[in-house]
Structure 1
Amino acid sequence: MENLFAFVIGGLYATALFMMLRRSIVKLVIGLMILSNAANLLILTGGGLVRGAPPLIPDGMELATAAMADPLPQALILTAIVISFGVLAFAVVLIHRAYEVIGADDMNEMKSTDL
């Protein structure tokens, strides 16, 4: 299962880099969004994929006797999702304002426009 996730993560990173190298600022933000999803999937895979094993230790025991899911990567991903949503919302507002002022979403036209 980890091999499948490795190929999916690699594909997401490649797609994100391709989108971020385009001249359109909208495609740049879409690439940034895909990149954050790939990073979240990488953290989840790095934490270990254990199916049907909650991260609970019974009362009176100090160590888990069987395989269990690690809750730390899940908490990190939840925090990263909230932060990436805030960054995405800010970027969308910034793109909308830049398009209103300049009238284009091409990076080269934005750079050469005198305000």
Structure 2
Amino acid sequence: MEFLIASAIGVLTAGGIYLALRARTFPVVLGLAMLSYAINLFLFAIGRLAVGQPPIYAKGLTDYTDPLPQALVLTAIVISFGMTALIVVLALRTFLETGTDQVDGKPDESPAEDQEGQP
């Protein structure tokens, strides 16, 4: 089970970094979302994977699941949702103002445009 969680975290991190380094805004947003999912899985895995254990300590029980990683994951989900909404709004505003979805705001330079300006 730990290998599966570690592999999922690694794949999400690698895909998130790859997409975050793209030149278009939509893949960047997807990459940041994938990175936030990887962080959420990592935070959840910190609390040890325990199946069938109560989240709160009770008298007579010696084993219980640590509730702190669960609270951290819930907080991280809310924060990542807010940040994703902000990034989408900023990307939309940039697209409407510049007319391109490039991260740097400069339009694409295709080879056909370069040859038209030359005599």
Is TM (by shorter chain) over 0.5?
yes
* Aligned position for 2:48: 48
User: Of the two structures, which has the highest relative contact order with CA contacts closer than 8 Å and spacing of 6 or more?
Assistant: 1
Structure 1 spans left out of the alignment, 5+ residues:
none
Q: State the secondary structure of the residue aligned to 2:96.
A: helix
Change (3 A) 1:111 1:104: closer
Does the CA-based 8 Å contact 2:20-2:32 persist in structure 1? Answer: yes
Does the CA-based 8 Å contact 2:56-2:67 persist in structure 1? Answer: no
Q: Distance in 1 between matches of 2:106 and 2:44?
A: 38
Aligned-pair identity (%): 45
Counterparts of 1:62-81 in structure 2, within 5 Å, are 64-65=61-62, 67-81=63-77
Aligned residues: 107
1:106 Cα offset (Å): 1.4
For the aligned residues, what is the CA RMSD? Answer: 1.5
Q: Distance in 1 between matches of 2:67 and 2:58?
A: 16
* Aligned position for 2:23: 23
Does the CA-based 8 Å contact 2:13-2:34 persist in structure 1? Answer: yes
* Residue 93 (structure 1) aligned to one of 89, 95, 112: 89
Q: Distance in 1 between matches of 2:43 and 2:4?
A: 15
Does the CA-based 8 Å contact 2:40-2:73 persist in structure 1? Answer: yes
1:111 Cα offset (Å): 4.5
What is the TM-score normalised by the length of structure 2? 0.83
The Cα offsets for residues 66-99 of structure 1, whole Å up to 9 and x where unpaired, read as x321100000010011011111111111111111
* Aligned position for 1:11: 11
* Residue 83 (structure 1) aligned to one of 79, 92, 115: 79
Structure of higher CA gyration radius: 2
Write out the 4+ residue segments of structure 1 that deviate beyond 4 Å after TM superposition.
none
Q: Distance in 2 between matches of 1:78 and 1:28?
A: 23
Q: Distance in 1 between matches of 2:80 and 2:16?
A: 15
